[in-house]
Amino acid sequence: MNARRLRTSLRGWGGVGAMAVVCALAAVFALLLPVAQSREDGGTDADGQGVAQGSQARAEDCVDPEDQSLAPDSGPQDGATIQKIKEKGSLTVGVDQNSYRWGYRDPNSEAKKAELEGFDIDLVHAIAQDILGDPDKVVFRAIPTNERIPAIQRGDVDMVVRTMTINCERLGLVAFSSPYFKTGQQVLAPKKSDIKGYDDTLANKRICSASGSIALDKLKADLGTVIPKSADISTVVPSQLDCLVRLQLGEVDAVVTDGALAASQAAQDPTVQLKGKPFTDEYYGVAMKKDATDLIRRVNQILVDYRKADWQKSYNTWLAGTLGKGDGPPAVQYK
């Protein structure tokens, strides 16, 4: 692993003032890191590929979505998609630049220009190293949660590595690699709150989630059954970081998001904490176009090697401080 990415332990960023600094930095770096924009006309890109939403997978036909990726040895790993990436000389990847210890810019960095770093970013560099022979031949594009799939469909990016959960609906729109991380949905709330978890204690509480997220889908499905009908789930924002800011400002009472992200947000602000246990089992995968079969197989082969040593090194650097020792990378099966 490149030594410049092994940063020293970072100081906590608690408080609204600190988050304002982070948001300001994100705005500055947005000038350097292009943000994928949504397209509302539902048209096609330059080579005629449709960018509409596409057909969704039928839930009854989808079992264990994390096990639906192509095996590395099921076909060519160096076809048209890989050749196109090699010809342009760089890998274009959709990432987050505001998720602490996953994909973010550290304002305390000693570097003159704070570079993107984190668990997801380490994986991107490993993929670039394998395909292009240089871990830094990457064009990062910052994309909000709800733009991850459209950015892939339009061809704005070659892949998305952004704490993206593999699920049946998304498998109807994009392809995923085998899973590289296991997590689950969890509740984040102020330590002093009487909220105990994803249960009746959310009655009359204002809950924030990100647009296009598993959390929002789960909240909609469970309102009036698992959680009280009086829970207000109307606060929906483009990015999970926005939910943390809303929580700090007192505009919402709780956040529902992936437990791994929630733990990182709790590390940023010592006044909040995880409430209750995870209430789902989810897996992060690298998302790509459905027809990019050679790239899918190539990424899966890279992950086979990455899990042997580099995965744990990256985990220890970025996540062990908030998630503990962990259980290592998830077990993998292919379709």
Same domain, 109 and 240: no
The mean of the pLDDT values for the chain is: 84
193 in a structural domain: yes
52 in a structural domain: no
Joined together, the tokens standing for residue 21 give 């600094």
Label residue 328 exposed, middle or buried (CB < 10 Å: 0-12, 13-18, 19+).
exposed
Beta bridge partners of 93: 140, 159
Q: pLDDT at residue 236 above 80? A: yes
Residue 11 pLDDT level (bands cut at 50, 70, 90): very low
Q: How many CB atoms lie within 10 A of CB 221?
A: 10
Residue ending a domain, choose from 258, 275, 292: 275
pLDDT of residue 110: 63
What's the rounded mean pLDDT across residues 258-270?
A: 90
Same domain, 77 and 171: yes
Same domain, 209 and 107: no
Higher per-residue pLDDT: 171 or 59: 171
Same domain, 195 and 93: no
Residue type, 260: A
Label residue 93 exposed, middle or buried (CB < 10 Å: 0-12, 13-18, 19+).
buried
What's the rounded mean pLDDT across residues 160-167?
A: 96
CATH of the domain at 80: 3.40.190.10
The three state secondary structure string of the chain is CCHHHCCCCCCCCCCHHHHHHHHHHHHHHCCCCCECCCCCCCCECCCCCECCCCCCCCHHHCCCHHHCCCCHHHCCCCCHHHHHHHHHCCEEEEECCEECCCEEECCCCCCCCCCEECHHHHHHHHHHHHHHCCCCCEEEEECCHHHHHHHHHHCCCCEECCCCECCHHHHCCCEECCCCEEECEEEEEECCCCCCCCCHHHCCCEEEEECCCHHHHHHHHHECCCECCCCEEEEEECCHHHHHHHHHCCCCCEEEEEHHHHHHHHHHCCCEEEECCCCCCEEECCEECCCCHHHHHHHHHHHHHHCCCHHHHHHHHHCHHHHCCCCCCCCCCCC
Same domain, 96 and 174: yes
Same domain, 128 and 262: no
169 in a structural domain: yes
Same domain, 175 and 77: yes
pTM of the model: 0.80
Higher per-residue pLDDT: 32 or 264: 264
pLDDT of residue 12: 35
Q: In what order do the strands lie in the sheet with 98-99?
A: 98-99, 103-105, 116-117
What's the structural domain count of the chain? 2
Residue 104 pLDDT level (bands cut at 50, 70, 90): very high
Q: How many CB atoms lie within 10 A of CB 90?
A: 16
230 in a structural domain: yes
Joined together, the tokens standing for residue 332 give 């993998």
Same domain, 177 and 195: no
Residue 61 pLDDT level (bands cut at 50, 70, 90): confident
Tell me which residue range forms the domain holding 191: 185-275
What's the rounded mean pLDDT across residues 109-133?
A: 88
198 in a structural domain: yes
pLDDT of residue 267: 87
**Is 119:131 a contact under the CB 8 Å cutoff?**
no
122 in a structural domain: yes
Same domain, 206 and 250: yes
The residues, any chain, with a CB within 8 Å of residue 316's CB and separated by 6 or more, are: none
Same domain, 175 and 297: yes
pLDDT of residue 60: 52
**Is 118:99 a contact under the CB 8 Å cutoff?**
yes
CA distances from 116 to 271, 280, 315 (A): 26, 29, 16
Q: pLDDT at residue 14 above 50? A: no
Cα–Cα dist 276/255, whole Å:
13
What's the rounded mean pLDDT across residues 259-272?
A: 91
Same domain, 243 and 306: no
Same domain, 164 and 70: yes
